[in-house]
Amino acid sequence: MFKTIWPLTAIIALRFLGLFLVLPVLSVYAMGMQDATALLVGVIVGGYALTQAIFQVPFGSISDKMGRKPTLVFGLLIFLAGSVLAAISDTIWMLMLGRFLQGAGAIGSVIPAMISDLVPEESRGKAMAMMGGAIAMSFALAMGLGPVLGSSWGVPALFWITAAMAAIAVVLVFVKVPTPPRIRHVYHDKIKTKDIFKDPNLLGMFIINGMQKGLMTIAFVIIPLILTGSIEDGGFAWEKSELWKAYLPAMIFGLVAMGPAAVFGEKHNKAKQIFLVSIVLFITAFLLMGLATSSTLFIVGVVFFFIGFNMMEPLVQSIISKYAKVHQKGTALGISNTAAYFMTFLGGTFAGLMLDFSDRSMLGISLAAIGVLWLIWTAMKLSNPIRHAHAYLKQDSVDMKKLEDLEHDAIAEWYINETEGLVVVKYRKEELSEDELRAKLIHA
């Protein structure tokens, strides 16, 4: 599996590393431009996510019709062009346009779709977790490199580095990414979006993904602005070159927390507990960042935020793919990604508005209150995924009448892979053995 998906994981890691690299210093850089306001800065920090949300579904549809690899290359080239435009920007409006163009290369749903095409279903959870882990690693690495490189070379250089990584990703597509097979599944049920929203577990995961990404943007608006802001305005008067002192410990603690959280959530099936701990960390983080009277306490809040973020990130996509039925996975992941990108944009805009018309203490208290409601919802509505096994039966050996009439509490779903001539049955092996299942379905 690793050999199959590592090029895709590398591509998405390079793309997110480029997006994350500028986040630690972007708000301070944009605030220094003519006509800048906190609101415009917030839009710039989260602006890529608005176009990501808008183009998620179109890119997914194009990949279904024209193929995954051409769509992936097209999206990466748009991302590259946006990075170049942001690098040469000399006005806040040009920078905003560059950020919007970066997001327009919306390949966020194409790569998970390619993984689904290439990886057997029972391994997809691990594959999605690897992808999430790569994104979290990119996030942590960017926190260490962004402030150092940005203060030494300038923020435009970070956008040029991003463009170069996009070019490397394009090369990887041609050289290392296998061409996915065209597989058409036939399901015994139809996709109904309303049914997805009726599932409390999927709805809870949409909220988790959206809130996590929205809070990320808020954090990257306020952290550099508060640390470098004047003491009279409630800041701590740091130099931009000192921002690494806040991000480096956050990166280290985030990386340390990520591994155990991923193992505990995936291997021991305790994702809900990881999410609850992360939400508590978010609540504490924003209270500290909002109310801290010293830079030390503020940095403790920053560290708590990054620990919570990195604990969640490797699990989100994987857990969504486990909750959704086979014929819902694409739609569920698409809804989740769209919600996450809209919340990313709204988070930056909300933070900018609050800082324009209020102060950081009110922002911190408001976010903590929202976090408490989120914590209560997650504790009451979310359950850990049920573990399932998969039986692969040759289609010509299965009695289709028995399959159509199959009713058993231990069977979650079944579908037919016409390309490979297989009937795939997802079941709880603690309640039903594969031999018993075969006896129910195979021709006498």
Q: What is the CA angle 131-132-134, rounded to 5?
A: 65
Q: CB under 8 Å, gap of 24 or more: what pairs does 333-338 form? A: 333/109, 333/112, 334/56, 334/57, 334/60, 334/109, 335/193, 335/196, 335/206, 336/205, 336/206, 336/209, 336/210, 337/52, 337/56, 337/108, 337/109, 337/209, 338/53, 338/56, 338/57
Q: Which fold has domain 2-381?
A: Growth Hormone; Chain: A; (1.20.1250)
3-state secondary structure of 106: coil
Please list the pLDDT of the chain residue by residue as tens digits (444 residues).
Answer: 677 789 999 998 999 899 899 999 999 999 999 999 999 999 999 988 899 888 887 887 787 677 788 989 999 999 999 999 999 999 999 999 999 999 998 887 788 778 777 887 667 667 877 887 888 788 888 888 999 899 899 999 999 999 999 999 999 999 988 877 655 555 545 556 677 888 899 999 999 999 999 999 999 999 999 999 998 888 999 998 899 999 999 989 988 998 899 888 888 889 999 999 999 999 999 999 999 999 999 999 999 999 999 999 888 888 887 887 766 666 777 788 888 989 999 999 999 999 888 889 999 999 999 999 999 999 999 999 877 788 888 888 888 777 777 767 777 777 787 777 888 887 887 788 888 888 888 876
| Domain segments of the chain as ranges | 2-381, 389-441
Choose the CATH number for 389-441 among 1.10.10, 1.10.3470, 3.40.50, 3.30.70.
3.30.70
The distance from CA 427 to its chain's CA centroid, rounded to whole angstroms, is: 28
Closest CA to 278 of 290, 291, 265, 295: 265
Positive or negative: CA dihedral 56, 61, 67, 73? negative
The closest alpha carbon to 11, from 98, 78, 73, 65, belongs to: 73
Overall residue count recorded for the chain in this entry: 444
